[in-house]
Structure 1
């Protein structure tokens, strides 16, 4: 009897998963369910290339439309999965529909955090999550005016740099004492904050939004400390939450996302999860983690699909992500912590440097600013859990690949 595999979430993880089901030889029925009325697309360009007009929304597609028909993959777009009947083996959808399913993969991703402040529903206030959001924000930015970005995280700063490049007057409001410190550390975060200030972005830290005001359209933003900034456009980017409603209503174990094992399987047999929503055991990090990274979404979607068809291998990628902020590229690999020992390669003032994170002498992470090559080579060392000599890491003349050939390797990452 023909089996049916249903992938819920027409995301990067979902698109790579259905592709992998076919390349791994599954010849049963494959259904991809997506809440948006769009083919699966890449999200990283939404805050940069799409906003700037370097890419049109249709150029962000992961696969062209014919890919799905050519591979006999059924698309149910504009459809919401509401519950998984784990006993009856069905995925229940909106409008009373359902699909019989032998195995299910959840790739439902995340949803934007919404602050509890008045004025979020005014015209001109946006969240950036979907390609439609990006197109709407782009149209407003092209008209020019005063733009307020609420949240100084990676997406907020990427968008601020894009808005500035389009000729807008840009203000960033960040509730923390500095930008990007939690992700990149205090020294790098502050250096990038200074760079963006020098480029013309007004940055206000310790600035928690009290309310957003306007008539029918947004006009200004007030902070708790009494600061007021005029605004034609407001974009709220204060992080995201895992979209766990479907899993919760289906009795699947949750803990900061959907709990999965090393094979991407949930607490319910034959139900899997991948991407931003999956809390998985990561051997490299030495702990359970949930990642909101492009690389993780793609590779974990592939790994989950392989597990579904019986080609089970533990998922153990070295975490990696990037951020393009104007002309500046930032990359991070591993799991850096603020308490790690730091080794710097290059001068932060030059805006071309790397910082290596060591924990009990073991290389556990790296942050590179305009140093892509350093990060890519360090990923192999992080994977091997190498104990490098700090002087070699700090010397720009030393080839990082040679460090891996000569340095001791440990097993079991220190906590």
Structure 2
């Protein structure tokens, strides 16, 4: 079936919103429809575990773009609507309201959903997750000064949530199954730093901890640990990772190893079907590895690449990944991917104060940096990594040497 030029974007995420905007910027003249299960316009997600958790926060500040933008650009945003099926032969999508829409191009920006806790009591009212605006609204109803909160999971979401709750006067305990917090994503030195700072702020930690069950106890919820410990909580926030939303992609028979497989132009194996953002599994040529990234940077940059390809301006996706995390007065900025590192070089003192950088090496090659309250070191390292340059470890460790003078002209291979 030949359809008029119409790009349907499934998902009102960062990736979906950017794809629509980029299509117009690149000259796409056809119809654009964003179909979102959310009840509002696309909004920023990083603040959800930070400023948005504060009772009384203004939700209007979350919107990525105002409603006037979509009207001016002739972008239709259908909220509170789910796509339940896709027919690749007819190039159509079926919505949960019974409507069928036809497309010339389809972009899957379906994102990811939280990994659910599977144990007795996991469905009790005080058990919350943190992925969307509705989750934030629920959590706010449990926040009160002097209340007790238990965070399950010592990753970035868990720690950001802990910081936000402490600022509002709640007592917080973080339960982590691993032997240290942030174990999957940072070096031991960075984990120890964040543990120290959170403890200074009044957060308690239980490591190597396993939860047996949750039980209602009056107006509180009891968290029963395998070692016999028992915690009473007014609020429980679960942050144990996410899973990519690939159900629609699987309907199309697409390969989904750890997300929807796409090429360097964000194309799937299905003609005129693209995928962008947290739901995608793609190749990163800088690190010569395939992976799935959960970041605003990846979502927006990949969306731009998909829009360019649809508009006949194919550009291969080759961007250095970068991330950030805000906790208390700490601004963590990460450039690059530290996977496979065999050496960490510290610039600054991680044992005291609240500012230092950790540089990750594999052999002679610099892979990534975690810069805490060091924006200059983040900025220059991000730039030089993108250029394929490495650095001299001994120079990096010497704070008297300007960061720009620590880098070599070319990167070395990892052996």
- CA separation in 2, counterparts of 1:216 and 1:243? 36
Mapped contact 1:48–1:162 kept (Cα < 8 A): yes
**Aligned with 2:134: secondary structure?**
helix
- Does the C-alpha gap of structure 1 residues 216 and 42 become closer, same or farther in structure 2, counting only changes over 3 Å? farther
Counterpart for residue 117 of structure 1: 119
- Deviation, 1:414, is 3.6
- CA separation in 1, counterparts of 2:92 and 2:79? 18
- Deviation, 1:111, is 0.5
- CA separation in 1, counterparts of 2:272 and 2:121? 44
| Matching residue within 91, 94, 107 for 1:92 | 94
**Aligned with 1:272: secondary structure?**
strand
Mapped contact 1:122–1:216 kept (Cα < 8 A): no
- Does the C-alpha gap of structure 1 residues 153 and 311 become closer, same or farther in structure 2, counting only changes over 3 Å? same
Counterpart for residue 314 of structure 1: 316
Counterpart for residue 209 of structure 1: 211
- Count of residue pairs brought into register by the alignment: 412
- Does the C-alpha gap of structure 1 residues 215 and 204 become closer, same or farther in structure 2, counting only changes over 3 Å? closer
- Deviation, 1:59, is 0.7
1:377 aligns with 2:380: yes
**Aligned with 2:271: secondary structure?**
coil
Counterpart for residue 361 of structure 2: 358
- CA separation in 1, counterparts of 2:350 and 2:296? 26
- Deviation, 1:54, is 7.6
1:49 aligns with 2:51: yes
Mapped contact 1:185–1:338 kept (Cα < 8 A): no
- CA separation in 1, counterparts of 2:262 and 2:174? 37
- Deviation, 1:340, is 2.5
Counterpart for residue 409 of structure 1: 410
- CA separation in 2, counterparts of 1:286 and 1:144? 49
Write out per-residue CA displacement over residues 237-281 of structure 1, whole angstroms, 9 at most, x where no aligned residue. 111100111111221111100000011101112111111111111
1:160 aligns with 2:154: no
Write out per-residue CA displacement over residues 64-109 of structure 1, whole angstroms, 9 at most, x where no aligned residue. 1111111111111111111221111111211322210111111111
- CA separation in 1, counterparts of 2:28 and 2:81? 24
5+ unaligned residues in a row in structure 2: which ranges?
A: none
Counterpart for residue 128 of structure 2: 126
Write out per-residue CA displacement over residues 200-258 of structure 1, whole angstroms, 9 at most, x where no aligned residue. 11110111221111058542111122110001111111111001111112211111000
Counterpart for residue 27 of structure 2: 25
- Deviation, 1:197, is 1.4
Counterpart for residue 38 of structure 2: 36
Mapped contact 2:341–2:360 kept (Cα < 8 A): no
Counterpart for residue 195 of structure 1: 197
| Matching residue within 243, 246, 266 for 2:245 | 243
- CA separation in 2, counterparts of 1:55 and 1:394? 41
Counterpart for residue 393 of structure 1: 396
Superposition pairs for residues 330-341 of structure 1, below 5 Å?
A: 330-337=332-339, 339-341=341-343
Counterpart for residue 179 of structure 1: 181
- CA separation in 2, counterparts of 1:216 and 1:259? 48
- Deviation, 1:172, is 0.8
**Aligned with 1:181: secondary structure?**
coil
**Aligned with 1:409: secondary structure?**
coil
The structure whose residues are more often helix, as a share, is 1
- CA separation in 2, counterparts of 1:98 and 1:157? 42
- CA separation in 2, counterparts of 1:185 and 1:388? 19
- CA separation in 2, counterparts of 1:338 and 1:367? 15
TM-score for the superposition, normalised by structure 1 = 0.95
Mapped contact 1:148–1:172 kept (Cα < 8 A): yes
1:138 aligns with 2:140: yes
| Matching residue within 62, 65, 79 for 1:60 | 62
Counterpart for residue 371 of structure 2: 368
1:300 aligns with 2:297: no
5+ unaligned residues in a row in structure 1: which ranges?
A: none
**Aligned with 1:253: secondary structure?**
coil
**Aligned with 2:344: secondary structure?**
strand
- CA separation in 2, counterparts of 1:308 and 1:292? 24
Write out per-residue CA displacement over residues 366-415 of structure 1, whole angstroms, 9 at most, x where no aligned residue. 111221221121012211222322222222233333445xx23148x547
| Matching residue within 101, 104, 112 for 1:102 | 104
